Amino acid sequence: MPIEQRVIAQPKIGGGKIGGGSSTPPAEEPAAGKKKGGKGGSKKKLLLIVGPILVIAIAAAVYFLVLAPKSGAGTPAATPAPSPGVVLTIDPISVNLAEGHYLRIGLALQLTDKVGEKEKPDPAKALDAAITLFSGHTVAEVSDPATRESFRAELEKSLEEIYEGEVMGVYFTNFVTQ
């Protein structure tokens, strides 16, 4: 015996067309005070997204146009470069290198003009930084001119931090390997 299946919830073929004769009543229109979720909800979502972005943009504009510190041509004021002062010469020391070799190194520190003649910084900090930097390297590494310049730049940067801006340069007055 064949089984018959019926679909009850769907409209008849041609049901919504003119002369189609649908037995289902037309859909009710929403009440005047109620809106369907379509356009009214999207306006709220748009306001929730655009609102904070607009507030941030206005705050940024106010900061950069009114509150930000200004200097002559609209560029931030740079701290003036320190002027060179006296040069502090440090006696040469021997630093142990790799493979039983050593480096005899002498340093001179270019001090800034804010350091007075009588208040010269302690050279022990510079010697310690030099020993730490050069110890354990090979003779080939410290003898190479390019590597030596990179060591000088690294030592100079380290001394500027250690001496808190009192040293602006370092010179090698003695540099002998054996």
* Ranges of each domain in the chain: 89-177
For the whole model, what pTM was predicted?
Answer: 0.54
pLDDT in tens, 120-131: 889 999 999 999
Share of the chain above pLDDT 70, in %: 70
pLDDT in tens, 51-62: 888 888 888 888
pLDDT in tens, 18-59: 555 555 555 555 555 555 555 567 778 877 888 888 888 888
Q: Is 90 helix (H, G, I), strand (E, B) or coil?
A: strand
- Residue appearing with tokens 């306001």: 47
Strand partners, 175: 105
* pLDDT for residue 30: 55
For 82, which DSSP code? P
Torsion, Cα of 159, 163, 169, 171 (10° steps): -60
- CA–centroid distance for 168 within its chain: 26
Alpha carbons 153 and 170: distance in angstroms, whole number:
8
Alpha carbons 157 and 102: distance in angstroms, whole number:
24
The beta strands (E) that lie in the chain are given as 84-96, 102-112, 167-177
Architecture of domain 89-177: 2-Layer Sandwich (3.30)
